[in-house]
Homo-oligomer: A and B are copies of this chain.
Amino acid sequence: MITDVTIPFPTSSSPPAWQSHAAATSMTGAPAAPRPLSLRIGFDMQFEIAGPTPTTMLFMLYVHPTVAPQLDAPERLVVDPGMGVEAFPDAFGNRCGRVVAPPGLLRVSYDAVYRSRFENEPQPDESSRQHEAGELPPMVLPFLMGSRYCEVDRLSAVAWDLFGKLPPGGARVLAINEWVFKNIAFGYRLTRPNKTALDTYVERTGVCRDMMHLAITFCRAMNIPARYATGYLGDIDADPDPTPMDFSAFYEVYLDGRWWPMDARHGRARVGRVLMARGRDATDVALVTSFGSHRLTKFTVVTEESAPAAAMSLPGSPEASLALSA
């Protein structure tokens, strides 16, 4: 038996904030709207649960409620063998799922089509205004503090050395993003589960998660709110990445009264990013958290432009998921 869990999410008739912003931007000078972009997103994960007792697993594998209205149809998270998936929001508004998996194989897959536009995500510019802590919305304040992987206190002097002579606000954020992009070498073998922003700063290596932690820490040290985010990111409008498709970390900064997406690995705005979850750092938005022994035996992610009339392969069948990683 396979359980097909359709995840409910709040619907809204108004477009998400950044989409309307992007539209406004595109109107300046050039009236042509960007063309529609349709993305097929999904994943296929397989686990071996050791047992003998069941293992509780938390998933943060849905798209974020604020972008869920852009899904073509209710998304499907398929769990095999079938079991109850309890869905709930966390304190940051992300959607979480929880299963109590019996020993044996567990497969979790997902497939959806995401409707967006072929345009760069919005970015702050040098003049984007930084807010005084006294005028920040209270909900934003926690994103100024230290967290597990972001030792704001320990990197504060370094941040001021590197960026303190620039004007506050967008100029500092852009300089931080570029510094991390240029100074941290990417490598899958150059990370570890306990790597912190300070480790990344001194070792100058890491994966996207590490780079974002460092950029976030620098921003917070300069009193600029910053939060960690996960999502899908394909090679849309970018050189093909030879490594297997994976989920992608990015971060968001608060300037001019809104949050802006930033990407310290790629060093520039991207097309076709799909937000999954946000938190203070990777601790808050781990894709999978397991309370018990398990082994990940298969992991494929797909993020690709879909032809409007393309027949979608069905998640849940092994053949389909192998095709995803090709």
Q: Does A256 belong to the interface (CB within 8 Å)?
A: no
Interface on A for B, CB 8 Å cutoff?
54, 56, 58, 88-91, 96, 98-100, 132-134, 138-139, 141-142, 144-148, 150-151, 153-155, 157-158, 183, 189, 192-194, 198, 201-204, 223, 283-284, 289, 291
Nearest 6 Cβ contacts at the A-B interface: A56-B134, A133-B291, A56-B133, A100-B134, A146-B148, A88-B138
Given the interface contacts A145-B283, A283-B146, does A138 sit within 8 Å of B202 by beta carbon? no
Distance in Å from the Cβ of A249 to the closest Cβ of chain B? 17
Distance in Å from the Cβ of A207 to the closest Cβ of chain B? 14
Question: Which one of A138, A139, A155, A198 has the highest number of Cβ atoms from chain B below 10 Å of its Cβ?
Answer: A138
A147 to B284, CA, bound (A): 9
Distance in Å from the Cβ of A146 to the closest Cβ of chain B? 4
Residues of B within 8 A of A193 (CB): 153
Check if B203 sits within 8 Å of A142, measured CB to CB. no
Distance in Å from the Cβ of A99 to the closest Cβ of chain B? 8
Residue of B nearest to A196 (CB): B151
Residue of B nearest to A160 (CB): B204
Residue of B nearest to A195 (CB): B192
Check if B202 sits within 8 Å of A56, measured CB to CB. no
Residue of B nearest to A223 (CB): B291
Taking a contact as CB atoms closer than 8 A, the residue among B98, B132, B146 that contacts A56 in the complex is: B132
A145 to B147, CA, bound (A): 11
Residue of B nearest to A136 (CB): B56
Residues of B within 8 A of A198 (CB): 202
Check if A202 sits within 8 Å of B133, measured CB to CB. no
Residues of B within 8 A of A96 (CB): 138
A155 to B203, CA, bound (A): 8
Given the interface contacts A148-B146, A202-B198, does A54 sit within 8 Å of B154 by beta carbon? no
